[in-house]
Amino acid sequence: MSAQLALNLRLRDGSSFGNFLPGRNREALAQAQALLEPTAASGFHSLYLYGDRGSGKTHLLEAVCRRSADTGRAPFYLCLRDATTLDPAMLEGVEQNSLVCLDDLGEVAGKPAWEEALLSLWERCRQRQGVWLAAASAPPDRLGLRLADLATRLSTAAVYALHVLSDEEKLSAMRLRAGNRGLELPEEVARYILNRYPRDLGTLFALLDRLDDAALAQQRRITVPLVRELDEKA
């Protein structure tokens, strides 16, 4: 699997800096954006993000990859949630990419072959003075890694906790996402959705995608009745 193939398979549509509502995560957002500044072109740079589901980890990783690709810098993105179906050997040569992004790092904690491969990749990226960006549900020292050297290396990165948005911020995030897609999402519809669906942003954005498709197919505006119709068809 080539680096470009991994990137194309894993990046979702719509994850960008422009539609990331930071809330209490402004400093982490600034650090992620700084990875792509001209001053980051020399020396090894590393950033480690952790937080609960729905805190925006994957969104930020994908936004960095997308901006990197747009500026001509080769990114590599891999979600380690799929590690059970992948061979750690796929990480060989990945350091040739100027940016390495690894999501759900905790999924390989306790897997010796993967931990050894990640440690080796870290060292190769450091030697090539690349950029390393990783995300997990916990900080490096609480990730359950058996390889102490790997935990130590990850702890030397800039480590930031991401915080889940408040309900009001989630409303703003949904409306921002809709607006960037050219959709009008009335506040009453957004509140209706938030009160009746799981409140993690992944679920909310997936519903927004379905509403977009339904509204386009039926040439209708997004309304509460349209949301109810989707419920009935689900």
pLDDT per residue rounded down to tens, the chain (234 residues): 344 434 443 445 568 898 889 999 999 999 999 998 876 567 899 999 999 988 999 999 999 999 998 888 889 999 998 777 889 999 999 999 989 999 999 999 999 999 999 999 999 999 999 999 999 999 999 999 999 999 999 999 999 999 999 999 999 999 988 888 888 999 999 999 999 998 888 888 889 989 999 998 999 999 999 999 988 876
Q: What is the pLDDT of residue 194?
A: 93
Q: What is the pLDDT of residue 83?
A: 76
Q: What is the pLDDT of residue 183?
A: 86
Q: What is the pLDDT of residue 158?
A: 97
Per-residue burial over 120-153, b if 16 or more Cβ lie within 10 Å, else e, is: ebbebbbeeebbbbbbbbebbeebebebeebbeb
Tokens 């050997």 — which residue? 89
Q: What is the pLDDT of residue 182?
A: 85
Ranges of CATH 1.10.8.60 domains, the chain: 167-233
Q: What is the pLDDT of residue 1?
A: 37
CATH topology for the 167-233 domain: Helicase, Ruva Protein; domain 3 (1.10.8)
d(CA 183, CA 179): 5
Q: What is the pLDDT of residue 113?
A: 96
Q: What is the pLDDT of residue 13?
A: 52
Per-residue burial over 203-225, b if 16 or more Cβ lie within 10 Å, else e, is: ebbebbeebbebbeeeeeebeee
47 touches 157 (CB < 8 A): yes
Ranges of CATH 3.40.50.300 domains, the chain: 23-162
**Both structure tokens of 145:** 């890694």
Domain 23-162 has CATH 3.40.50.300: yes
Q: What is the pLDDT of residue 4?
A: 45
